[in-house]
Amino acid sequence: MVSAVVMAESVRCVECGICTYNCPLGIDVRTHARLGQPVADSYCLTCGDCVARCPRGTLRLEASAVFDEGASPFPGMR
């Protein structure tokens, strides 16, 4: 199973807050962005709205393997 996470590169962030303003769940994306931390919020839908709206290319969606396929905790489900 593959999920995604919003990653941030702080050197591009100017703290304008467009990301946070547009997050449908009100996650404070900006604080993650300015600190260069992934948006590790369990409520994040990974809808990509913040990624698309950031005028500086600070954010990107990156695939993250939640479960290693070879060691799936759900046998038979890939």
Is residue 69 a contact point for other proteins (CB under 8 A)? no
* Position among 36, 46, 56, 67 found at the interface with other proteins (CB under 8 A): 56
Cα→Cα distances 77→2, 3, 64, 72, Å: 12, 15, 18, 7
# binding residues, other proteins (CB under 8 A): 17
Would you say 54 and 18 are in contact if contact means Cβ atoms under 8 Å apart?
A: yes
Is residue 38 a contact point for other proteins (CB under 8 A)? no
Q: Could you tell me which stretch among 40-48, 50-58, 64-72 binds other proteins (CB under 8 A)?
A: 50-58
Is residue 36 a contact point for other proteins (CB under 8 A)? no
Rounded Cα gap, residues 9 and 27, in angstroms: 17
